[in-house]
Each structure stands twice: as C-alpha cells, then as structure tokens.
C-alpha cells in the first residue's frame, strides 16, 4: 500500500451525520484521488486534486466534499446528502502516470 495511509479502516455512521475520511501520503505526489468501490461496479471517481488548493469533481461527486490545504492530505467528507454512502472508499496519489492506492476505509451507514 506504499506511502499512503487512510483512517479509519472501518467507520460507522448514523443516517443524517457527516463523516470525514482521512487520506495522507508521504510520497510527495502532486495529484490525489478519491474513489468509491461497490460490488460489481469497479471503482468510480469522486473527486481529484492535481495541486494544492485545487480540486475537481469526478463522476459521482454529489453528496461529497473535499479539501486540499496541504500536499500530503486530501480528506473526504461524506455528507448527509449522499443517499447511499455505504461503500469501500479508496484514496490514491500519482507522480504522473499510474496511481498508488491506500488500504481503504469501509464506511457503513447504520
């Protein structure tokens, strides 16, 4: 899983609550990404950031928010507006071509 850490590994949330997933990398990569993984659907891009203080929506950004205040950190907030947030969330970073992935956070809404 390289130099990318995600925490927590498991997260439980009550409906109506916002939760924040942490992603940190010590690889000095400029670009970072958040994906959502659901069974049988592969990985879908939520948000990505190619440089500090800048980020772009991916394919399924609704109900999520991010920030990129530091190069090393790209936290993802799952808001109460996300209708079906239970999933496995993966963070990745890249120096250019190809991506390195963190170990993932499994979020379950109770």
Partner 1 sequence: AQSVAQPEDQVNVAEGNPLTVKCTYSVSGNPYLFWYVQYPNRGLQFLLKYITGDNLVKGSYGFEAEFNKSQTSFHLKNPSALVSDSALYFCAVIPRGFQKLVFGTGTRLLVSP
User: Which residues are near partner 1 by CB under 8 A?
Assistant: 1, 4, 6, 31, 33, 40-43, 45, 48, 50, 58, 88, 90, 92, 94, 97-104, 106
Q: How far is the CB of 50 from partner 1 (least distance, A)?
A: 7
CA–CA distance, 26 with 82 (Å, rounded to integer): 30
Eight-state DSSP code of residue 81 = T
Of 110, 99, 109, the closest CA to residue 25 belongs to: 99
Rounded to a whole number of angstroms, the minimum distance from the CB of residue 80 to partner 1 is 26
* Cis, bond preceding 8 (omega within 30 deg of 0): yes
What's the closest the beta carbon of residue 104 comes to partner 1, in angstroms?
A: 5
């Amino acid at each position: 899983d390289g130099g990318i850490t995600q925490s927590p590994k498991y997260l439980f949330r009550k409906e109506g609550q916002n939760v924040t997933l942490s992603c940190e990398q010590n690889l000095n990569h400029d670009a970072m990404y958040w994906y959502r993984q659901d069974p049988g659907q592969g990985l879908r891009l939520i948000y990505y950031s190619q440089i500090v203080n800048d980020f772009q929506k991916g394919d399924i950004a609704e109900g999520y928010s991010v920030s990129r205040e530091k190069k090393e950190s790209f936290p993802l907030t799952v808001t109460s507006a996300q209708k079906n947030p239970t999933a496995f969330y993966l963070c990745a970073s890249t120096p250019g071509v190809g991506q390195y992935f963190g170990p993932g956070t499994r979020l379950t809404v109770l």
